[in-house]
Structure 1
Amino acid sequence: MIEILATLSASAAAGMRIGIPLLIIGLLQGSNLWSQVPILSHISPPILLGCLTSWSLIELLVSKKLWGQRLLQLIELFMSPLVGAIMGLGVATATATPNWLIAIIGGLLALVLQLVQVGWFYRLRGLPLWAVFLQDTLCIALVLFAFDAPWQGGVIALILLWFAVRSAKQWYGWYNKGKRRRA
């Protein structure tokens, strides 16, 4: 059960940012940079470290501007399921759950959270700066929780999933209200 919660925590982090969680998961492994992470273990660690560091800096700096948020969301929307699956598989090492199921759950959770971000971005016409800082902080915290406190990280991931469902319900209500006004 703890492995599943750790997977949810890591995948939720990938649903917010894609470079930062991968960079942190590699650095937390010490001298074995990404050796336990599927797909990434086949890439040279210095090249991967350079690419992920660069992308993480881009995510941190560019996400503070409206045009940067729009650009990042386009890229992250397509990459988040893959990164969510990689993060889930990288965290869940000793579980009886099949790897394909962990990859699907991790990828779908990351995609759902990314879709919610895109929805709020367009609903609010850009995310406020405080929300972007909260997003960055929560992303880093979820990765750290996946390793050190998987129960708490999994609970936070489930709360984020609940928030996603509530957001979808609220958007549907706004859509119906606008539809009734036009009719």
Structure 2
Amino acid sequence: MIIGILAILSASAAAGMRIALPLLIVGLLRSDLWSQVPLLSAIPPPVLIGILTSWSLFELFGSKKLLGQRILQIIQLIFSPLVGGLLAVTVVKIANLEMSPLWLIGVIGGLLALVLKLVQVGWFFRLRGLPIWVIFIEDIICILLVLFTFDAPQNGGLIALLLLWIAIRSSTAWRKWYQQSSQVSDTDN
């Protein structure tokens, strides 16, 4: 049960970083492609491979430029909860886990993906663009999280929990930064 929860967290955290890349990897790792993924199982696999491959390439290469980062931040912020929920439900189905209600698992996965994406968007706007080395690390972690979901769920779940801890720490740092900047502006007035 705990290993299943860690696998769900790992997949959802990957969706909080990229949206098409985790779905593409999950589909290509399975022999039945996306038949276990809700909503995507209705789309023909050749069409889905084309769409996910194109979007994954844009995520990988477009994120290296500031304009690409801005476009991706908006689109990923909208779709990361959906993809996080889809991946959480998919992990439950693929691993044959006895968890219910399934919609609650999807909501939790979507919320984790949304929290991680919100933190990334916050850092993006605070730093006025993410450094290239951060983007490369994010790409690597995203791929590792998807691979760990099925091969080493303990490791993937622990990485997801570590990312959640970093997100919580970031929010407290932003709060302190905001309070300091508001105090400075009050003294200027």
TM-score (norm 1): 0.98
Contact 1:13-1:21 at 8 Å conserved across structures: yes
Larger C-alpha radius of gyration, 1 or 2? 2
| Equivalent residue number for residue 78 of structure 2 | 78
Query: Hey, which bits of structure 1, 4+ residues long, moved more than 3 A?
Result: none
| Equivalent residue number for residue 154 of structure 1 | 157
Residue 21 in 1 paired to residue 22 in 2?
yes
Residue 171 in 1 paired to residue 135 in 2?
no
Instruction: Report which stretch shifted further, 46-55 or 34-43.
Output: 34-43
Partner of 1:92: helix, strand, or coil?
helix
Q: Summarize the alignment of residues 83-102 of structure 1 with structure 2, pairs less than 5 Å apart.
A: 83-93=83-93, 94-102=97-105
Cα offset, 1:97, TM superposition? 3.2
Cα offset, 1:2, TM superposition? 1.0
Cα offset, 1:96, TM superposition? 2.2
The letter for the 2-side match of 1:161 is: L
| Equivalent residue number for residue 45 of structure 1 | 45
Please give the per-residue CA displacement for 1:135-182, whole angstroms capped at 9, x wherever unaligned. Answer: 000000000000000011001000000000000000000000011111
The letter for the 2-side match of 1:66 is: L
| Equivalent residue number for residue 185 of structure 2 | 182
| Equivalent residue number for residue 8 of structure 2 | 7
Contact 2:22-2:142 at 8 Å conserved across structures: yes
How many pairs align?
Answer: 182
Distance 1:66 1:103 in 2: 32
Contact 1:3-1:95 at 8 Å conserved across structures: no
Cα offset, 1:78, TM superposition? 0.2
The letter for the 2-side match of 1:10 is: A
The letter for the 1-side match of 2:101 is: P
Contact 2:123-2:130 at 8 Å conserved across structures: yes
Distance 1:63 1:176 in 2: 31
Cα offset, 1:120, TM superposition? 0.5
Partner of 1:33: helix, strand, or coil?
coil
Q: Percent identity?
A: 62
Cα offset, 1:124, TM superposition? 0.8
- Choose which of 93, 104, 110 in structure 2 pairs with 1:107: 110
Instruction: Report which stretch shifted further, 147-156 or 87-96.
Output: 87-96
Give structure 2 stretches of 5+ with no counterpart: none
Cα offset, 1:92, TM superposition? 1.4
Contact 1:17-1:76 at 8 Å conserved across structures: yes
CA RMSD of aligned residues (A): 0.7
TM-score (norm 2): 0.95
Distance 1:134 1:159 in 2: 15
The letter for the 2-side match of 1:124 is: L
